[in-house]
Amino acid sequence: MPGPAPAPAASAQRRAHWPAPGAVLELLKPITWFPPIWAFACGIVASGAALSEMWPRALLGLVLAGPLVCGMSQAVNDWFDRHVDAVNEPQRPIPSGRLPGRWGLWIAIAWTLLSLGVGWALGSWGFAATAVGVALAWAYSAPPLRLKRDGWLGNAACALCYETLPWITAAAVLSGGAPDPRVVLVALLYGAGAHGIMTLNDFKSVEGDLRFGIRSLPVQLGPDRAARLACVVMAVPQAVVVALLIAWGAPFAAAAIGASLAAQGACMARLLRDPRGLAPWYNATGISLYVLGMMASAVALRGGAP
């Protein structure tokens, strides 16, 4: 005869040890996937590849850049930041208990292995770039390096992974070899500018960073100086891109990016009145102009600017 049914309390306890799918998705933060996906798309455009033939690799690369590598980095960061998040953002899945036990760590490891597997499928360039991205993601959040403890190093690692690396990877994977040096240079410049974007993102967590000894730039410099630095760091690389495009014979793209930079300047002037209060607003306005300039650069490079 069949045994007795498990007690309702025991069944509920077993279910409580499994995270809800919504909590897992929240851990991977889909909203953060846009920057690397956009950068990878810029690399696709700049490569000049025929998408009618290369679309499967392009699509796989977009999935790798966003849901996999970026999602993995978010899981790693949330696991090693769970004590800081308990102060700054206690509603997140791990500090709130919606991801019980060590589920956050297991998901981070699983997504790391999955990312490396997909990178392997994209060839030597794809795998090498994925390995670099994975290594930087763990170095950023995990001890002993924990690069995020210093705003200069941590922001540089994030900017490289979010902007430069996916752009160069896409250009290499889609072109089947080393990317055009001009593509590499422009990707590096936009990655350098993204250091300022990362600084603005740190304004939301100043209290927890102070409490746990994380020396973000708003903590080190104070909100006003950090905001001014972020604006300069974002603006100067774009001005260099404008000059390069003019030198390479792409005046229309240069003019478009110059206009975008001027509009960003107006937004920056407002941001500096109240950096902590207006950083989210700038992230929705000024950063949108920034990424549109990235695509204008990619289109110019695809057009074969001499």
Tens-place pLDDT, residues 90-131 = 999 999 999 999 999 999 999 999 999 999 999 999 999 999
Residue 142: exposure state from Cβ atoms within 10 A (0-12, 13-18, ≥19) = middle
Handedness of CA 278, 281, 286, 290 (dihedral sign): positive
Cβ partners under 8 Å of residue 3, min gap 6: none
Domain-embedded: residue 15: no
Q: Whole-angstrom Cα distance, residue 305 to residue 212?
A: 49
pLDDT of residue 305: 55
Is the distance from CB of 304 to CB of 181 less than 8 angstroms? Answer: no
Range of the domain at 236: 25-302
Average pLDDT over residues 2-20: 55
**pLDDT digit string (tens) for 180-224?**
999 999 999 999 999 999 999 999 888 888 888 889 999 999 999
Domain count, the chain: 1
Question: What's the helix, strand, coil split of the chain in %, to 5?
Answer: 80, 0, 20
pLDDT of residue 11: 41
Q: Whole-angstrom Cα distance, residue 113 to residue 32?
A: 20
pLDDT of residue 16: 54
| Residue 141 pLDDT exceeds 90 | yes
| Residue 225 pLDDT exceeds 60 | yes
Nearest to 226 by CA among 170, 177, 160, 155: 155
Domain-embedded: residue 20: no
| Residue 7 pLDDT exceeds 50 | no
Cβ partners under 8 Å of residue 202, min gap 6: 151, 155, 209, 216, 217, 218, 219, 226
| Residue 3 pLDDT exceeds 90 | no
**pLDDT digit string (tens) for 291-304?**
999 999 999 998 65
| Residue 226 pLDDT exceeds 90 | yes
pLDDT of residue 85: 86
Q: Which tokens belong to 130?
A: 């994925």
Residue-by-residue DSSP string for 272-287: TTSHHHHHHHHHHHHH
The CATH number given to whatever domain includes residue 259 is 1.10.600
Q: Whole-angstrom Cα distance, residue 70 to residue 79?
A: 14
